[in-house]
């Protein structure tokens, strides 16, 4: 069953005496892009970590739903989630091609080789680059490979933390196109970014976090423009 919604209720997270999240309530649905905005330290990466099931909340809960059914946490649910975090999870001693084949085996993909070739082409890592050890990659190339890894198993939930970091204009445009395609395919999408140009015309749900709380939230049928995204950020995040 496909994930149709993702909701958090009274979500809180503390690291010792430091409060990262304080009572967040939020629902995200399939076929929409939620732009998670806010200044550094607002709790955005912490929230993504909890949504990915890799970080445990101090309080509150996360609910994944397929229709009326609540999906149980565990390996089967993680198989439905694709994560691009600050950490690339790319193995430097392996080539780009070998990295994707390794993850394809972890996900038990029957068409792993074909899928790896498709994703390397989509993110713009040509054959010569794919045959090099990933430790020789530039920041932008590593980001492209990490994106291919996140998309490899065709996840139903995409959680992307600053995905445009290190990408040139061509790479950023290719990623924006990929995100638009993913949205059209009906994925649940949450994107943390400060690049308003890249998500303009795609993001139709905006959440602004400030000091671990939701300072502002809005959504509509038509995606927001760059100017609208920037205005919301400056009005509610600063």
pLDDT digits (tens, 9 = 90+) for 197-211: 999 999 999 999 999
Residue pointed to by tokens 């550094």: 40
Structure tokens at 172: 């950023």
Q: What is the mean pLDDT of residues 59-66?
A: 95
Res. 73 pLDDT band, cuts 50 70 90: confident
Looking at every residue in the chain, the average pLDDT score rounds to 93
Q: Is residue 178 within 8 Å of 70, Cβ to Cβ?
A: no
- Please report how the helices 169-184 and 139-151 are oriented relative to each other, as an axis angle in degrees rounded to 10: 10
CA dist., res. 71 & res. 68, Å (int): 10
Q: What is the mean pLDDT of residues 155-167?
A: 93
Per-residue confidence (pLDDT) for residue 87, from 0 to 100: 87
Per-residue confidence (pLDDT) for residue 15, from 0 to 100: 93
b/e burial code for range 33-46 (CB count within 10 A of at least 16 → b): bbbbbbeeebbbbb
Per-residue confidence (pLDDT) for residue 30, from 0 to 100: 96
Q: Name the pTM for this structure.
A: 0.93
Q: What is the mean pLDDT of residues 56-68?
A: 93
- Residue 70: alpha-carbon gap to chain centroid: 21
Q: What is the mean pLDDT of residues 45-74?
A: 93
* Predicted confidence (pLDDT) at residue 127 exceeds the cutoff of 80: no
CA dist., res. 3 & res. 96, Å (int): 29
Res. 156 pLDDT band, cuts 50 70 90: very high
Per-residue confidence (pLDDT) for residue 173, from 0 to 100: 84
CA dist., res. 197 & res. 229, Å (int): 9
Q: Is residue 124 within 8 Å of 95, Cβ to Cβ?
A: no
Per-residue confidence (pLDDT) for residue 109, from 0 to 100: 92
């Amino acid at each position: 069953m496909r994930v149709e919604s993702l909701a958090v209720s009274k979500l809180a997270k503390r690291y010792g005496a430091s409060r990262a999240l304080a009572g967040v309530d939020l629902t995200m649905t399939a076929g929409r892009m939620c732009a998670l905005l806010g200044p550094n330290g607002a709790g955005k990466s912490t929230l993504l970590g909890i949504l990915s099931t890799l970080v445990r909340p101090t309080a509150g809960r996360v609910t994944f739903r397929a229709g009326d059914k609540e999906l149980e946490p565990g390996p089967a649910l993680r198989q439905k989630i694709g994560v691009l975090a600050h950490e690339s999870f790319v193995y430097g001693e392996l080539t780009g091609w070998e990295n994707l084949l390794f993850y394809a085996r972890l996900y038990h993909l029957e068409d792993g080789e074909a899928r790896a070739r498709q994703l390397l082409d989509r993110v713009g890592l040509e054959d010569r680059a794919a045959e090099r050890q990933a430790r020789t990659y530039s920041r932008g190339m590593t980001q492209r490979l990490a994106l291919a890894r996140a998309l490899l198993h065709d996840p139903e939930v995409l959680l992307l933390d600053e995905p445009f970091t290190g990408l040139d204009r061509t790479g950023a445009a290719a990623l924006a196109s990929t995100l638009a395609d993913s949205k059209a395919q009906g994925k649940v999408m949450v994107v943390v970014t400060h690049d308003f140009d890249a998500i303009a015309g795609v993001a139709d749900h905006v959440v602004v976090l400030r000091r671990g709380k939701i300072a502002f939230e809005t959504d509509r049928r038509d995606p927001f423009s760059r100017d609208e995204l920037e205005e919301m950020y400056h009005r509610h995040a600063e």
